[in-house]
Amino acid sequence: MTFGALIGAYQEDDSGRLRALLPLAGRTLVEYQIRCATAAGAAPVVVIVERVPKDLQDIFERLRLDAIPVYPVGDVHEAVSRFEAGSMILLIGDGVVAPVELVAGISEDEEPAIVTVPDDEDHEGFERIDGETRWAGVAMIDAHLLSSTASMLGDWDLQSTLLRRAIQDGARRVPSGELAGGTILVEDSSQLDKFQKSLMVASKAVRSDWVSRFVLPPVEDFATERLMETQVRPWWLVWLALAMTLAATACFLEGWLVTGLALLVASTPLDLIAARLANLRLRPLAARMPSRRLLWPAAGLAAVALGWWEARHGHGWAPLIAAISACAFAEAARIEKAVFPPGVEIWLVSRRGAIFSAIPFAIFGAWTAFLVTFWLYAGASFFIVQQAHHRAKELTRS
């Protein structure tokens, strides 16, 4: 089902600043609302705003650079012209913060629907529907209702009028608890703190190796908090990690072994930070993104380069053979464990695990010993995965 979105951005807080410009997760409230609507599949996204200050104009330009079709309009008649006749419209109230799961859930309705919250002390700022419920600030309406409301709006508030007319037309009421957590009606930035923390926690996916689970979280959290307020694009960080890995390969070939390892260690959190930034901006990185897929073979190339250097400087062919064999075992284990549930293979061989395992060997200059250990680690991981597959097949047969 194709549908558009209509978002209000005209009410001001106590300081005279638009509520839509309150900060949230390194961006603004209205940008979060727009990205939520887009993530749910809405296009176009229309924002009703009486005036467009420079900050708001900058937001619209940034969103257009991300290929998000957003159109600011000054009145409801202009808004009507942006939607196709007969289409559905996702309505998000001015200053309303809703979980993306809630927005996605209500967007699946092909008939008019209104999200509700209980009429209690926690929701006293929301508009009352009856003695038991209030409007949560999110609804699905049809374009005909918007156009007919525009013709008789006058001085009435658009959101309230649309809500009342939708209720009169028999729109289905959906408690917010059936979709996701409740919404927040924001009047000042302090009300967003708890929600922002929940976004930070939700942006962190399951960590499938011991380094990302136990070693990198402080670095990852710190960098994500700092970078989410910048214009840094997540994919920049992934390409940076790939470039650092290739630079480490060149360092190993030149014999700058410590420098190469330092580059590899520094690259390990970058793709994790990139994924979290992308999740916070509701534009997740593609699973088959080329730069992400190349990180693993690039790390293998670095290991082979290290083995080549060791082989050429008095250690025979054993380091190179160990490096190549380790990469082969690691790749086989990676392919086989792809069917495992996320998180269960935490101690098996991984790119980050292999890099951090090299640190104690590097302290003593035992690079060949590391490559042999890496070979044993990768080989053991492969055979563990194989054993798990055989057990699973036996259980399936029985």
Q: What CATH fold (topology level) applies to the domain 3-194? A: Spore Coat Polysaccharide Biosynthesis Protein SpsA; Chain A (3.90.550)
- Those residues of the chain that have pLDDT short of 50 are none
Residues 6+ apart with CB under 8 A from 46: 4, 5, 6, 7, 70, 71, 72, 73, 79, 82, 83
Facing residues of 141 across strands? 89
**Measuring CA to CA, how many Å separate 113 from each of 16, 92, 105, 159, 348?**
33, 12, 11, 14, 48
**Domain residue ranges of the chain, discontinuous segments joined by +:** 3-194, 205-397
Cβ pair 22, 186 in contact under 8 A:
yes
Q: What CATH number belongs to 205-397? A: 1.20.120.1760
* Distance in angstroms (rounded) separating the CA atoms of residues 322 and 199: 44
pLDDT of residue 339: 66
pLDDT of residue 40: 94
Residue-wise pLDDT tens digits, 142-201: 999 999 888 876 656 788 889 999 999 999 999 988 887 789 998 888 888 888 998 998
Name the nearest CA neighbour of 201 among 103, 286, 284, 279. 279
Handedness of CA 347, 350, 353, 357 (dihedral sign): positive
pLDDT of residue 155: 55
Pair type for strands 88-92 and 133-142: antiparallel
- Whole-prediction pTM value? 0.89
pLDDT of residue 194: 86
